């Protein structure tokens, strides 16, 4: 299905100064800082204190389908424990020098989704997740670098960030987590609630809690070329059938029967040269790959509801993507949770709005003259599969 160019984003929206970016526009941020250099933003979200208490974060870390880690230093040695944790684990922790990190909090909370929406000037395809950490005094994950662009937003408390654009990224060998062997801080900042530090990939950093502190990391992962190519080869395997088969009617006697002959190498090369792809294939691959839910995710399915009842409620209440869902568009097609979506052309603007904002407000749905039967049937199926929900 297709959408029209007039529905693409209005670029002027991105030239307004944003408090979130310290008074510069999204356009300037992308030009001067994104993927290039760090930016410290005091008062990026002036009234932000976070939306999780340490206890609520610990509660999430006890759940089966939540990825969490507990990192501590015991006699200067780094220790890593993977969740899910039993509640009693938190009763036995020392006063200081540990941190609890919970990945993909946006899969579980509306507030986390609302926070991520503020970063909509970065394409959704680049977003990885919102990670939230809690640490008592002295806690942190040690000096390291990430392959992420990350916005480190301070929730409650304070954290000292040491950062360095050093070239030496040698890691301590044998440590259970990636710790830089020769970290030399070049700049140090103390962040309080609502302050934010943007770091591009590979910038070394070390955040240390000053008293109880919570940090919200909005991460944009940059996959390696190796990972992209590997995944694309898997995609090709599923989407290509090459005709013919290896044939050697002119087989000549070989001096060494154990040798793989030149003729065989040449013929296989020519078979492989038949493996072609276009940018359309790459867009289709990206649509599927980037919306594919991580393997540990479980979608909560609602109680059954008939199609007419669903339609009535959708019109009166509106719908939104489930927290764990990802809807992207590529080359004028849409992809939801790893699958290409086929709906009629007249539903394209609805789907584009749902993809961009993650919600379809009831007034927006009612204003559509063309709410087709096919679209209602499709969204009903998504609802039953737990991919969308009624607006909360």
Number of residue whose CB is nearest ligand SIN: 133
Residue 325 engages ligand SIN in binding (rule: CB under 6 A): no
Helix, strand, coil share (%) of the chain residues, nearest 5: 35, 25, 45
Classified as helix, coil or strand, 98 is: strand
CB-based burial label for 334 (10 Å; 0-12, 13-18, 19+): buried
**Binders of Co ion: how many residues, by CB under 5 A?**
1
217 binds, among Co ion, ligand SIN, none (CB under 5 to 8 A by kind): ligand SIN
Answer for which of 133, 288, 325, 326 binds ligand SIN (CB under 6 A) is 133
Q: How far is the CB of 146 from ligand SIN (least distance, A)?
A: 6
Stretch that binds Co ion, among 145-153, 161-169, 173-181, 222-230 (CB under 5 A): 145-153
Stretch that binds ligand SIN, among 140-148, 234-242, 346-354, 383-391 (CB under 6 A): 140-148
Residue 72 engages ligand SIN in binding (rule: CB under 6 A): no
Residue 358 engages ligand SIN in binding (rule: CB under 6 A): no
> How many residues appear in the chain?
392
113 binds, among ligand SIN, Co ion, none (CB under 5 to 8 A by kind): none
Residue 104 engages ligand SIN in binding (rule: CB under 6 A): no
Q: How far is the CB of 106 from Co ion (least distance, A)?
A: 18
Chain centroid, CA 289 distance in Å: 12
**Binders of ligand SIN: how many residues, by CB under 6 A?**
10
Lookup: tokens for 136: 């008592």
Residues 184-213 that bind ligand SIN (CB under 6 A): 205, 207
Query: Could you tell me which of 342, 352, 391, 348 has the C-alpha nearest to residue 370?
Result: 348
Which residues does residue 197 pair with via DSSP β-bridges, in sequence order? 40, 152
CB-based burial label for 383 (10 Å; 0-12, 13-18, 19+): buried
Lookup: tokens for 16: 């307004």
Answer for which of 215, 337, 347, 379 binds ligand SIN (CB under 6 A) is 215
CA atoms within 13 A on the CB side of 115: 31
CA gap 17, 111 in Å, rounded? 24
Answer for which of 97, 128, 129, 146 binds Co ion (CB under 5 A) is 146
Chain centroid, CA 341 distance in Å: 20
Of 215 and 291, which CB lies nearer to ligand SIN in the complex structure?
Answer: 215
Q: How far is the CB of 258 from Co ion (least distance, A)?
A: 52
Q: How far is the CB of 118 from Co ion (least distance, A)?
A: 20
Answer for which of 141, 191, 203, 360 binds ligand SIN (CB under 6 A) is 141
CA gap 122, 9 in Å, rounded? 12
CA gap 98, 72 in Å, rounded? 4
Residues that bind ligand SIN (CB under 6 A): 99, 133, 140-141, 146, 150, 205, 207, 215, 217
Residues that bind Co ion (CB under 5 A): 146
């Amino acid at each position: 299905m297709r959408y029209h160019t007039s529905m693409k984003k209005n670029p002027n929206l991105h030239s307004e100064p944003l408090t979130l970016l310290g008074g510069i526009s999204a356009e300037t941020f992308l030009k001067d800082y994104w993927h290039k250099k760090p930016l410290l933003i005091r008062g990026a979200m002036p009234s932000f204190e976070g939306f999780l208490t340490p206890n609520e974060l610990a509660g999430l870390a006890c759940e089966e389908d939540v990825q969490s880690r507990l990192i501590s230093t015991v006699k200067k040695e780094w220790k890593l424990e993977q969740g899910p944790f039993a509640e009693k684990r938190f009763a036995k922790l020392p006063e200081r020098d540990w941190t609890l990190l919970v990945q993909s909090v946006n899969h579980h909370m509306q507030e986390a989704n609302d926070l991520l929406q503020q970063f909509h000037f970065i394409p959704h395809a680049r977003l990885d997740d919102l990670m939230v950490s809690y640490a008592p005094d002295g806690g942190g994950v040690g000096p390291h670098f990430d392959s992420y662009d990350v916005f480190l937003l301070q929730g409650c408390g304070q954290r000292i960030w040491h950062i360095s654009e050093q070239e030496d990224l040698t890691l301590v060998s044998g440590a259970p987590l990636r710790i830089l062997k020769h970290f030399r801080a070049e700049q140090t900042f103390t962040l309080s609630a609502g302050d934010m530090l943007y770091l591009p990939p590979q910038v070394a950093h070390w955040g240390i809690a000053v008293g109880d502190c919570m940090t919200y990391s909005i991460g944009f992962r940059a996959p390696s070329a190796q990972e992209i190519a590997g995944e694309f080869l898997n995609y090709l395997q599923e989407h290509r059938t090459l005709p013919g088969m290896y044939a050697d009617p002119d087989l000549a006697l070989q001096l060494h029967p154990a040798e793989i002959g030149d003729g065989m190498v040449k013929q296989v090369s020519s078979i492989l040269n038949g493996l072609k792809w276009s940018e359309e294939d790459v867009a289709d691959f990206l649509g599927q790959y980037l919306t594919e839910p991580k393997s540990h995710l479980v979608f909560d399915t609602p109680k059954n509801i008939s199609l007419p009842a669903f339609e009535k409620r959708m019109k009166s209440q509106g719908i939104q993507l489930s927290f764990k869902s990802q809807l992207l568009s590529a080359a004028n097609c849409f992809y939801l949770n790893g699958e290409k979506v086929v709906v009629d052309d007249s539903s394209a603007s609805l789907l584009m709005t749902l993809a961009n904002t993650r919600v379809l407000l009831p007034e927006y749905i009612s204003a559509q003259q063309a709410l087709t039967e096919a679209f209602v049937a499709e969204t009903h199926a998504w609802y039953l599969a737990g991919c969308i929900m009624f607006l909360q």
